Amino acid sequence: MVFKTPRNPPHELLMLQHLHSRMMLPANFIKIMRNHKKGLEGELHFDSYLKGISVDSIILRSLLFELNNEYFQIDTLLISPSTLYLFEVKNYSGEYQIRHGKWYNSIDSLTKDPTLQLYRCETLFRQLLSKLNQTQFEIKPLVVFPNLEFTLFHASKDLPVILPTQISKFVHQLNSTSPNFKLPQQCYDLSDMLISYALAKYPFPNLPEYNFNQLIKEEFRKKLSM
């Protein structure tokens, strides 16, 4: 197994952290920044599990694509000898439940269904593979929850999710499937194509209004006070 791309912090997170060190961020942007940070922590936690994979495979992380004026991100793509595993990583914590097809969080508030985001990503990824003439691969999309403090009640067995207590089992099963099988060249070619097609950063970050000159003055003031 090889990690072929780094786990990059979201560009929007870096920008918000930079601004936060120089100005008072509105409460809604502080929440966005914290959500980005929590999401990154979950992705890094999942990466630590993937280090246990021994079967020949390639892992691509933090891939951002634009296709037909639509942007989508792949948190983690595992290219194994038989399957492309498309992971949407959610660092949820607390007790969640599914009632009548809807997701509710720990305070019993209706929340977004993460599988809808997964299916959108899968659809766009399949379109991208078609554009790259790489439609020969089987794709298995999964939402993974790496946070051990997360619990999901009333989930059907066919729901495409991996719960915290199931991650180690998933890695074990992957290792026991064709342990001596080597990746064909087409898998390496695909990884190179995807890396070359990926964007460096999202071009439209959600940032608060700020005065550049005021930021310079604030930076100068901090240096004088040191």
For residue 223, tell me if it sits in a domain.
Answer: no
Angle between helices 27-50 and 167-176 (to 10 degrees): 40
- Taking the C-alpha atoms of residue 76 and residue 191, their distance in angstroms, rounded to an integer, is 12
- Distance (Å, rounded) from C-alpha 30 to C-alpha 24? 9
Separation CA 134–CA 50 (nearest Å) = 25
Overall number of domains in the chain: 1
Tens digit of pLDDT per residue, the chain (226 long)?
A: 899 999 999 999 999 998 988 888 999 999 999 999 999 999 999 999 999 999 999 999 999 999 999 999 999 999 998 899 999 999 999 999 999 999 999 889 999 999 999 999 999 999 999 999 999 999 999 999 999 999 999 999 999 999 999 999 999 999 998 677 889 999 999 999 999 999 999 989 889 887 766 655 555 455 545 4
Q: For residue 225, is it within any domain?
A: no
Assess if residue 97 is contained within a domain.
yes
62 inside domain? yes
Residue 4 has a pLDDT of 95
Residues contacting residue 182 through CB under 8 Å, at least 6 positions apart = 56, 81
Res 69: pLDDT: 93
* DSSP secondary structure letters along 116-129: HHHHHHHHHHHHHH
Q: Are 65 and 161 in contact (CB under 8 A)?
A: no
Asked if residues 72 and 116 have their Cβ atoms less than 8 Å apart, the reply is no
Residue 103 has a CB neighbour count (10 Å cut-off) of 19
Any domain includes 221: no
**For the whole model, what pTM was predicted?**
0.90
**212: in domain:** no
* C-beta of residue 136 within 8 angstroms of C-beta of residue 186: yes
Token reading at 71 = 């942007």
Instruction: Please report, as a single letter, which amino acid is at residue 148.
Output: L
Rounded CA-CA distance 184/188 in Å is 7
- pLDDT, residue 221, reads 53
Within 11-132, strands assigned E span 58-67, 70-79, 84-89, 94-99, 102-104, 110-111
What pLDDT sits at residue 47?
98
Evaluate whether residue 136 is within a structural domain: yes
What whole-number distance in Å separates Cα of residue 95 and Cα of residue 205?
Answer: 31
Q: Give residue 114's pLDDT.
A: 97
According to DSSP, residue 218 is labeled: H
User: Does some domain include residue 216?
Assistant: no
Beta-carbon neighbour count of residue 85 at 10 Å?
Answer: 21
* pLDDT for res 220: 45
* pLDDT score for 216: 58
Domain of 35: which CATH number?
3.40.1350.10
What residues make up the domain containing 34? 2-202
